[in-house]
């Protein structure tokens, strides 16, 4: 009898496992859209590795200074391939889901999206950036600055000129009242490590204490919300730990979530403001 029971249990486990994997397979299959990288907190995200480290840093520094001053966020993203998706559709999704822009009300974000293998460039302008960066202007920037430079393989020159042009157009449109969102860049990585270590020790301490307590004390809903419970869900609690972005003081080697180890990210900025996009901008090929 007991062996029957355990057999049944085993079968049930196998079955649910099977269905679960089928389900996962199916959902993966249905989702034909290219997966987007998560926001890295940087304004320059060279996932395709088109720029050198110092170029990324220079570009990032320029864009961060501009964003601090005007709140207008200009983001550069390079990727290897669109994986068959339309350049407009994908870059629109990316810009919107990252929420590029100083705030939702201003929606003053600009995304310069470059895909290396498809040789396509796309400028996406947020609702609030359409005023200074019109579609016609976006096209001119692409046609006159990016395409000629890219044709000669001068990626940095093209991106640098284009971002400067966008910055000039947007000057005076917005000002930043909120101040920078992050503190100085140098100490950030160290601080983060300290915080993480501290948090780890803290949680472990509480965890141990409560484990001893748990047997005789009903602690209601309190512990369910606690962070240490996430340890059970496959280490979900520290998923952010090995992700890119906290490495070398503002411009560390950042991992690209879609293309493997691509290039660098630079221009440490923090969070995007949740800007909204309406499809403005222009595109081009080189």
Partner 1 sequence: MSRSLIVIAVVAGLALILLGKGCSSFNSFSLQEEDVENAWSKVQSAYQRRSDLIPNLVQTVKGYANFEQKTLTDVVDARAKATSMTIDPSNITPEQLKEFQAAQSGVSQTLGRLMMITENYPDLKANQQFLELQSQLEGTENRIKVERDRFNDTVTKFNKSIRTFPNNVFAGIFGFSQKAQFEAQAGSENAPKVNFE
92 binds partner 1 (CB under 8 A): yes
Pick one of 226, 249, 253, 279: the residue that binds partner 1 (CB under 8 A): 279
Q: Which of 117, 99, 120 is nearest to 108 (CA)?
A: 99
Pick one of 34, 53, 104, 139: the residue that binds partner 1 (CB under 8 A): 139
Q: Which is nearer to partner 1, 135 or 230 (CB)?
A: 135
Q: Which is nearer to partner 1, 274 or 278 (CB)?
A: 278
Pick one of 38, 68, 88, 223: the residue that binds partner 1 (CB under 8 A): 88
118 binds partner 1 (CB under 8 A): no
DSSP strand pairing (42-46 vs 120-126)? unpaired
CA distances from 219 to 25, 185, 230 (A): 39, 41, 17
Residue 164 tokens read as: 């400067």
Check if the beta carbon of residue 52 is closer than 8 Å to that of residue 60: no
User: Distance of alpha carbon 61 from its chain centroid, rounded?
Assistant: 18
138 binds partner 1 (CB under 8 A): yes
Q: What is the smallest separation between the CB atom of 107 and partner 1, expressed in angstroms?
A: 13
CA distances from 276 to 6, 98, 115 (A): 55, 9, 22
Distance CA 273, CA 181 (A): 10
Which part of the chain contacts partner 1 (CB under 8 A), choosing from 53-61, 132-140, 169-177, 236-244? Answer: 132-140
103 binds partner 1 (CB under 8 A): no
Distance CA 28, CA 195 (A): 36
Which part of the chain contacts partner 1 (CB under 8 A), choosing from 59-67, 128-136, 175-183, 255-263? Answer: 128-136
Q: Which is nearer to partner 1, 170 or 266 (CB)?
A: 170
| C-beta atoms surrounding 243 within 10 Å | 14
Q: Which is nearer to partner 1, 273 or 281 (CB)?
A: 281
Distance CA 82, CA 258 (A): 11
Give the x-and-dash track for 207-246 against partner 1 (CB under 8 A): ----------------------------------------
Q: Which residues bind partner 1 (CB under 8 A)?
A: 88, 92, 134-136, 138-140, 143, 277-285
């Amino acid at each position: 009898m007991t062996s029957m029971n355990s057999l049944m249990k085993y079968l049930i486990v196998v079955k649910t496992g099977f269905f679960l994997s089928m389900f996962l397979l199916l959902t993966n299959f249905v989702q034909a859209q290219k997966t987007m990288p998560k926001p890295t907190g940087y304004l320059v995200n060279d996932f395709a590795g088109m720029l050198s480290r110092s170029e990324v840093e220079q570009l990032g520094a320029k864009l961060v200074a501009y964003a601090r001053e005007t709140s207008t966020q200009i983001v550069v993203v390079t990727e290897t391939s669109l994986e068959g998706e339309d350049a407009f559709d994908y870059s629109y999704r990316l810009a919107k889901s990252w929420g590029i822009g100083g705030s939702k009300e201003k929606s003053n974000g600009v995304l310069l999206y470059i895909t290396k293998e498809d040789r396509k460039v796309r400028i996406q302008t947020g609702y609030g950036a359409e005023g200074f960066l019109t579609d016609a202007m976006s096209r001119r920037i692409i046609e006159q600055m990016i395409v000629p430079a890219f044709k000669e393989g001068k990626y940095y020159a093209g991106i640098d000129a284009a971002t400067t042009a966008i910055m000039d157009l947007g000057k005076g449109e917005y000002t930043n009242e909120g101040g920078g969102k992050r503190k100085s860049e140098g100490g950030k990585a160290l601080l983060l490590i300290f915080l993480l270590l501290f948090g780890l020790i803290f949680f472990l301490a509480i965890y141990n204490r409560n484990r001893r307590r748990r047997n005789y004390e009903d602690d209601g809903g309190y512990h369910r919300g606690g962070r240490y419970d996430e340890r059970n869900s496959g280490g979900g609690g520290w998923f952010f730990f090995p992700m890119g972005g906290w490495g070398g003081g503002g411009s560390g080697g950042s991992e690209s979530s879609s293309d493997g180890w691509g290039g660098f990210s630079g221009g440490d900025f923090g969070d995007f403001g949740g800007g909204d996009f309406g499809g403005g901008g222009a595109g081009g090929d080189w």
